[in-house]
Structure 1
Amino acid sequence: MTHSLKRLIVGRPLSSERLGDQMLPKRIALPVFASDPLSSVAYATQEILLVLTLGGLAYLYLAPWVAAGVVVLLAVVVLSYRQVVRAYPSGGGSYEVASRNLGPSAGLVVASALMVDYVMTVAVSVAAGVDNIISAVPDLAPYRVAVNLGFVALLTAMNLRGVRESGRLFAVPTYLFIAGVLAMVVIGLLQTAFGHAPVAESAGWEVHAEPSHAGLTGMALVLLALRAFSSGCTALTGVEALSNGVPAFRPPKERNAASTMALMGGLSITMFAGITALALIADVRYVEDACQLAGFPGDCGTGTQRTVIAQLAAAVFGGPDSVMFYYIQAATALILILAANTAFNGFPLLAAILAEHRYLPRQLHTRGDRLAFSNGIVILSLVAGALIYAFDGSVTRLIQLYILGVFTSFTLSQAGMVRHWNQELAGMDDPVLRRGVHRSRLINALGACLTALVLVVVLFTKFTHGAYLVVIAVPVLFAMMRGIRRHYDQVARQLRPQPGGIVLPGRTHAVVLVSQLHQPTLRALGYAKAARPDTLTALTVRISEEEIEGLRAEWEERGIPVPLTVMSSPYRDITGSVLEYIARLHRTHPEDLIAVYIPEYVVGHWWEHLLHNQSALRLKARLLFQRGVMVTSVPWQLDSSHRVAAQRLRQGPPRGGAGVG
């Protein structure tokens, strides 16, 4: 049943030879790796308005300037990452750039920040998508968290089926969203040009300013604008995912990835600028607490305010009952939820590279049945689901943790690229090539300066609103990865072979554990004798005097040519008594090898394990920690295990790679 359920969710396994078939053309790579930055335009404008309306309507005149700053920054970052794609096509992205040019520690800082960013991408994207669903169907509001978790589980299952298959599925909603938003922007601007500008449902509502944000001037006003700018920079999230996913593109990989990134940047800028312009034309009002709105219909404490893009769709297409309104809401909800797919592709790839470099467990470098990095996919979904549950699926609360990690990786990556170009110039004489490198270095230097400035702004404006959690999480991840690498290095040193060939032990002492005289015991004794040890002892522990006497009598009756040693255990501790005997034997022969044979029978069904004690497992677990001791399990398969094995044989040999998927 488990096997059938797995095949239903994951699909039939793919052989390693078909890895090349999973490479993506540009039309599929765009929704796979760029759905996050494309979808961010659905709430970036909303986040800008949310901050500016803290002081009422007086500061909305800042919105165009804030949006213009976001557009300039987005253009610079896209151009900068096109340089990364061309210079480092192996898929390490920001992590590889920082590691090679700024050192391993800088690389780990970038990796830690990106891992936090990918987790937040899943949480924020799904939560924002569910918000748009609730805007269309308000009755779902009480089930917000459950709906969020359901979508995370669905995304996990789809990504376990493989990158190419999930990409084909997610391509349609992405293109539907792009077409819908561009149509809404064009129609709305045309309506404005012909004197029939769209009017949002909230246009007539007044906004009560928070007392602490009323009448701001000077530096306080600058700080408000900077906070709005940092919130609007959510439009940049996910830009780096394409640089991590270059190996997934069809050849020529670098050129296809660079052109896809340019297309993504152009679409993101166009849609973000269009939505912001329409929001200002339609006089959209959007606040965190609906009770700040004078004129809000119904109970502001329980009512749900429509998102900015929902208000625009209703204003442009003739109300919340129009077909296009539901089209925009459905497409927005889908793209926001599927934007998490960017993280489901970026996080496992990054984790696999880190695992290959021994900074994360090696299991994260293993591909599953569908040639996806399944373990990374499952870990990402579990952590993101926990965050959604902890923050009640609130976009406003989650988004405060979001972009700090993004701009940390942006800044270090661009600084690393500047150093990369400096090294290229040192060995280059061709003046034409040098001009190209100078241009690339200027782009990356500008990107590094701008993203560093935004990083400071984000840290300063969002620290007390939840960003401090990211400030804690990044160093914790950094320390964890350094500790994992230190462990792997220590293991490698200890496992390094000594000079020379195979070293034979001086003498071998075999010990066969005996509970009663049955088939498994006789087989274990036979295997032990076949190994020709220097000494051979059968060891049993006295729990009941009657049982021991019966065992001795049967031992002598069968004439077994192996001495039977009996250990006393007044407290009925079999494991402790065996360990005591082995320790005593090791002290007597410290240079010799002790081979312990444990007879055990194998059952076929899980419920049969519950009917037998697990003393053999406990013994093995303890004996494995003893120096100079080798543990050998001698299995005896019962009839039920034969039946299960035959049934699995009829189903065919196991296929697929290791890992969860």
Structure 2
Amino acid sequence: MTNETRDPQLVKRILLGDPLSSEESAEQLLPKRRALPIFASDALSSVAYAPQELVMILLIGGLTFLSFTPIVAVAVVVLLIVVVLSYRQLIKAYPSGGGDYEVARKNLGEIPGVVVASALLVDYVLTVAVSVASGVDNIISAIPGLDPARVELAVGFVVLIIIVNLRGVREASFAFAIPTYIFIGSVGVMIVTGLIRTFLGDAPVASSADFAVHAEDLSQAAVILLILRAFSSGCSALTGVEAVANGVPAFRVPKVRNAQATLVLMGSIAICLFAGLTALALISGVHYAEDPCALIGFDCATPQPSLMAQVASATFGGGSILFFVVQAATACVLLLAANTAFNGFPLLGAVLARDGYGPKALNTRGDRLVFSNGMILLGIAAIAVLIVFQAKLTTLIQLYIIGVFVSFSLGQIGMVRHWRRMLRSASTSASNRRGARLGLLINSAGATLTVLVLLIVTITKFTHGAYLVFFAIPILAFLMMGVKRYYRDVDHEIAIDDTTRFGSTGDVALVLVNKLQKPVVKALDYAVAAKHGKTVAVHVAVEGDEAAQLQQEWADHLMPVPLIILQSPYRSYAEPIAQFIAQYREKHGPSVVTVYLPQYIVGHWWETFLHNRRARRVASQLMLVHGVTITLVPWLLDSSEIIYGRRSRPVPGQERAGRPVVANGRRAHRPAGPPDAEA
């Protein structure tokens, strides 16, 4: 078996590919044709479930309420147009990738900025959960026998998407481009085909068209709330619009122009698909109920076909190739819609980490030049949500879009303040003033509409589960503020000032010795080679017999440094050493103390439970003693060959007299001492 096959890094290389150097980062930037499937898959896929949610809510009031569908759909389209135009202005003004967070923080203050960031992070997690759940729902519509494995399928798809994204933005764009464009093309063909059939007098008929509905008795106020609730569910078509603004740094130059073009193209396609699919649903008579048992004549023991499945079946025929193409493309793009979050979440996390509101690890790029820690964190959170809610789309959709409209609203309000400040500035040129007036008009309309929609969404979805989001956002914002305070306090604590003094007057090395073995000799060798002012070996005596035996071996092997025995009647190790250091400093002054500890390096995970426990424990305790530094001296056991592909010591019989000892893959000098000293 070769070293490569034993290398655990091999699996990582197979899954993720070879590492990329920092110089290759420019090659990972995206042209528009690849940026569209990466950043627009969420917004484009929303058309697969937004019309379904709209129809489902209206059907609660009965079949007559479906007559409100065109009005509600037009309202959603108008809102989508305004939001796309508003974000086009935002990209131009703030191209750094902070999006709504940066706009709110710079124009409204720290707390609104953190609230926006929290809302976006929550929404990204729910984007993954809803997208994957919707994709699985469409798969089950085509293959009902998979329904018992709904959660397992959802979790498996999240893991797969994580792996693909960890391979890098460029490779992810290759993997996701084809399904996205197939979805756009197949749904577009379906809409055109359905409309042509309708024009020719052969309108498609959905499988649920003949089902009646058990309608609820609604008061006038309840009717208004139901229509508003349908509108809020239809507004899920707007999710993902903000991702382009957050992903501007990933575009090729000219970044702003390419991002704006991608945003407009995404919005145009989403509007056409949403309007066309909603129209076909009405033409074919799709009846999709929140409770399948409310459909009179439907066997609610079987999964309810999705709206997309019913329209495709009515247009092309249930067993046709085009039906399965539409279903497969829809399932793929719904699953890949989660990819938008896997680009937006890590980028936003990196911005937050740079600003001090998130752990610094979120700003670390992995082997493939992506913010891998953010991707993994997002995947874990999404899997947890899917498991808790059993990957049920109708439940998860109630939590959705709250966060995105919080960020929409505060971001647009921030843009209004941005343009007003620019207009008040005397240094703004005439051409910039014209642009600022147009931006102020567009973003004012965006702010008004998004705030209104946020109120509608809150009122209509709060009791259906959205209250959980309103708990999650402030909790996350509070934690982010706490992280900011922590980093601020640490920076203040470690900042250098005029009172900093360098008063150390000595240099002593302590080599901790348990038994006289090769790892200890190597640690002694390192300490002697470092040429400290004084080097001593220290043994903490828990058992008297062991201390006496060690002293005898020390003398027999003519070890070149003195051995000091510290008694430990209470069987502790770090405390006697700390007391010895304190006494030494009282006698010799404030010396710098370096403690050398041998430590085994092993190749199997289970070996870590059999070695190194004491060394790590002692090291962690001595780190609390001022003026003490810890040096861990590695000794590679033979099992470490699994990791490093080399033996830690020469094979017996290969070491010749007069040749240097090979230790841990390198030549190691014997400790200084008498010529006949043995290692």
State TM-score, norm by structure 2.
Answer: 0.89
Q: How does 1:85-234 map to 2 (within 5 A)?
A: 85-210=91-216, 214-217=217-220, 219-234=221-236
Q: Which of these residues, 375, 393, 400, is aligned with residue 391 of structure 2?
A: 393
Amino acid at match of 1:4: L
Q: Which of these residues, 1, 11, 28, is aligned with residue 5 of structure 1?
A: 11
Shift of 1:520: 3.5
Q: How does 1:442-521 map to 2 (within 5 A)?
A: 442-499=441-498, 503-521=502-520
* d(CA) in 2 for partners of 1:380, 1:234: 20
* d(CA) in 2 for partners of 1:311, 1:233: 22
Is 1:77 aligned to 2:83, yes or no? yes
2:438 equivalent in structure 1: 439
Checking the alignment, whether the CA contact within 8 Å between 2:506 and 2:589 is kept in structure 1 is no
Deviates more, 1:231-240 or 1:197-206: 197-206
1:659 equivalent in structure 2: none
Shift of 1:51: 1.1
1:384 equivalent in structure 2: 382
| TM-superposition CA deviations, 1:600-657 (whole Å, max 9, x none) | 44445555544435211111111112222222223444565579645499xxxxxxxx
* d(CA) in 2 for partners of 1:216, 1:275: 30
Q: How does 1:267-416 map to 2 (within 5 A)?
A: 267-296=269-298, 298=299, 300=300, 302-317=301-316, 319-416=317-414
Amino acid at match of 1:324: L
Amino acid at match of 1:382: I
2:260 equivalent in structure 1: 258
* d(CA) in 2 for partners of 1:339, 1:258: 20
CA RMSD of aligned residues (A): 2.4
| TM-superposition CA deviations, 1:229-271 (whole Å, max 9, x none) | 1111100000000001111111111111111111111111111
Q: 1:398 to 1:539 in 2, by over 3 A?
A: same
* d(CA) in 2 for partners of 1:527, 1:161: 40
Amino acid at match of 1:389: I
* d(CA) in 1 for partners of 2:613, 2:438: 68
| TM-superposition CA deviations, 1:73-100 (whole Å, max 9, x none) | 1110000000011111111111111121
Q: 1:646 to 1:283 in 2, by over 3 A?
A: closer
| TM-superposition CA deviations, 1:553-590 (whole Å, max 9, x none) | 23344555655433333453334544454466567788
Is 1:425 aligned to 2:428, yes or no? no
Q: 1:626 to 1:129 in 2, by over 3 A?
A: same
| TM-superposition CA deviations, 1:331-356 (whole Å, max 9, x none) | 11111011111111111111111111
* d(CA) in 2 for partners of 1:432, 1:378: 45
Deviates more, 1:506-515 or 1:171-180: 506-515
- Secondary structure of 2:496's partner? coil
Task: Give structure 1 stretches of 5+ with no counterpart.
Answer: 650-661
Q: How does 1:514-533 map to 2 (within 5 A)?
A: 514-525=513-524, 527-528=526-527
Shift of 1:432: 4.8
Shift of 1:449: 0.8
* d(CA) in 2 for partners of 1:431, 1:460: 43
Amino acid at match of 1:359: Y
Deviates more, 1:591-600 or 1:126-135: 591-600
* d(CA) in 1 for partners of 2:41, 2:279: 22
1:595 equivalent in structure 2: 594
Deviates more, 1:471-480 or 1:517-526: 517-526
2:238 equivalent in structure 1: 236
1:653 equivalent in structure 2: none
Q: 1:23 to 1:454 in 2, by over 3 A?
A: same
Shift of 1:523: 4.3
* d(CA) in 2 for partners of 1:306, 1:587: 81
* d(CA) in 2 for partners of 1:202, 1:638: 69
Checking the alignment, whether the CA contact within 8 Å between 2:513 and 2:538 is kept in structure 1 is yes
* d(CA) in 1 for partners of 2:288, 2:566: 78
Shift of 1:475: 1.1
Checking the alignment, whether the CA contact within 8 Å between 1:508 and 1:534 is kept in structure 2 is yes
Q: 1:519 to 1:311 in 2, by over 3 A?
A: closer
State TM-score, norm by structure 1.
Answer: 0.92
2:32 equivalent in structure 1: 26
* d(CA) in 1 for partners of 2:647, 2:320: 55
Q: Aligned residues, how many?
A: 641
Q: 1:529 to 1:7 in 2, by over 3 A?
A: closer
Q: Percent identical across equivalent pairs?
A: 53
Checking the alignment, whether the CA contact within 8 Å between 1:78 and 1:239 is kept in structure 2 is yes
* d(CA) in 2 for partners of 1:433, 1:574: 71
Amino acid at match of 2:242: E
* d(CA) in 2 for partners of 1:293, 1:169: 39
Q: Which of these residues, 32, 39, 47, is aligned with residue 41 of structure 1?
A: 47
Shift of 1:164: 1.1
* d(CA) in 1 for partners of 2:146, 2:294: 23
1:246 equivalent in structure 2: 248
Checking the alignment, whether the CA contact within 8 Å between 1:290 and 1:303 is kept in structure 2 is no
* d(CA) in 1 for partners of 2:640, 2:16: 27
